[in-house]
């Protein structure tokens, strides 16, 4: 497996980075680890989805608003990309009519914002909390 990544939106690429357009065209799996900013909102829109391989999958555990939900639902139904897994939505809890909660999108895995909840993540969180409390009490 080869890991590729892109620049911060709006910034020039470093030697080890690809322009977003090239990354979209080459990636077999696209995972989003991006803060939500005005430039990253809906960074994965219909144009970005159309630039991806038909065999690609999209994974978003970052922020819900990074992906246009209507565009993603349409792309999944049309087979523009092969699948997606999302752990975040722009508004949580979502409305019952949220486009990504439709029952006719079998190539979508939607989890209830629990990607952070692994045993290791919880242990790390508890450890950091302990350090913060000790520092505050000293």
Residue 89 lies in a domain: yes
Q: What is the DSSP letter of 129?
A: H
Q: Check which CATH number belongs to the domain holding 94 and give it.
A: 3.40.50.720
pLDDT at res. 13: 64
Residue 128 appears among annotated catalytic residues: no
Residue 47 lies in a domain: yes
Q: Which of 26, 41, 77, 113 is catalytic?
A: 113
pLDDT at res. 1: 72
Q: Which of 63, 90, 98, 130 is catalytic?
A: 63
pLDDT in tens, 71-112: 999 999 999 999 999 999 999 899 999 999 999 999 999 988
Q: Residue 97: give the domain boundaries.
A: 20-137
pLDDT at res. 63: 94
Residue 15 lies in a domain: no
Q: Quick one: pLDDT band at residue 8, thresholds 50, 70, 90?
A: low
Average pLDDT of span 25-44: 93
Average pLDDT of span 62-79: 97
The CA R_g of the chain, rounded to the nearest whole Å, is 17
Residue 98 appears among annotated catalytic residues: no
Beta strands, E only, the chain: 29-32, 57-60, 83-86, 108-110
User: Three-state SS across 53-80?
Assistant: CCCCEEEECCCHHHECHHHHHHHHHHCC
Rounded CA separation 19/110 (Å): 28
Q: Quick one: pLDDT band at residue 9, thresholds 50, 70, 90?
A: low
Residue 63 appears among annotated catalytic residues: yes
In three-state secondary structure terms, 110 is strand
Q: Which of 50, 92, 128, 130 is catalytic?
A: 92
Domain count for the chain: 1
Residue 9 lies in a domain: no
Residue 3 lies in a domain: no
Rounded CA separation 72/78 (Å): 10
Task: Calculate the average pLDDT of the chain.
Answer: 90
In three-state secondary structure terms, 99 is helix
Query: Both tokens of residue 75?
Result: 């792309």
């Amino acid at each position: 497996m080869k890991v590729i990544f892109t620049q911060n939106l709006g910034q020039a690429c470093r030697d080890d980075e690809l322009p977003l357009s090239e990354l979209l065209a080459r990636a077999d799996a696209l995972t989003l680890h991006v803060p939500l900013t005005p430039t990253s909102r809906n960074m994965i829109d219909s144009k970005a989805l159309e630039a991806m391989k038909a065999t690609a999958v999209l994974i978003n555990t970052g922020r819900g608003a990074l992906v246009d939900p209507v565009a993603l639902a349409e792309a999944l139904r049309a087979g523009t990309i092969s699948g997606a897994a999302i752990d975040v939505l722009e508004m949580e809890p979502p409305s019952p009519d949220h486009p990504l909660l439709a029952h006719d999108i079998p190539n979508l895995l939607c989890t209830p914002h629990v990607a952070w909840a692994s045993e290791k993540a919880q242990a790390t969180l508890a450890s950091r909390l302990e350090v913060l409390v000790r520092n505050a009490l000293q």
